[in-house]
Chains A and B, each alone.
Chain A
């Protein structure tokens, strides 16, 4: 499953979510439910900015890091959750079920993280296999010559 699939699953399981975007912490878009790339970029950048500004709410030394933000306006709500590498943002209609939306966003981030770990593991295995094959070929060539 890739990032786009993770977002597609998110919007499928959470009917409250109107639109969502997966991005890096700097706001670079990884995947989005929006068709327009420029709109997805604005969405991701605005979400990253909200997260960065919210991070400044607690400045005491030793305070725990921020993990998620909900902004409730009169015409809808915005949710942003993050892990070590990514953020996922979603917008909903007014008065959503807050806990449920956050749960779905966290699930989306976990699915993406698992996928990336599996890919990294496969890449390491492939590289090890290639090195072993190359070594065997070199040994066979040196024996024949």
Chain B
């Protein structure tokens, strides 16, 4: 009985961990950002919520809208 409970708890824990990883991966992939690349190969990633990100993201959306009509 104890062994079955332990297995059940383990399964529930694994499922929860999997769900957390899935949600975090999905949200990080779909996060809006602007990546700026420089001549020396360096890159600055600006996410929504940062000052530069909030300044550049509307411009990026405008480019998308202009291209799609």
Contacts and interface: CB of A to CB of B under 8 A. Distances in A.
Interface string A21-55: 10000000000001010010011011101100110
A29 B66 CA distance: 14
B37 A67 contact: yes
A50 B30 contact: no
Given A18-B68, A58-B44, A78 B63 contact: yes
A70 interface: yes
Contacts of B55: 53
Contacts of B60: 50, 71-73, 78
B59 A46 contact: yes
Contact-size category for A: 35 or more
Contact of B37 (A46, A69, A89): A69
Given A66-B36, A69-B35, A46 B56 contact: no
A46 B62 contact: yes
A145 interface: no
Contacts of B64: 71, 73, 75-78, 91
Given A64-B42, A78-B63, A91 B34 contact: no
Interface of B: 29-40, 42, 44, 46, 52, 55-57, 59-64, 66-69
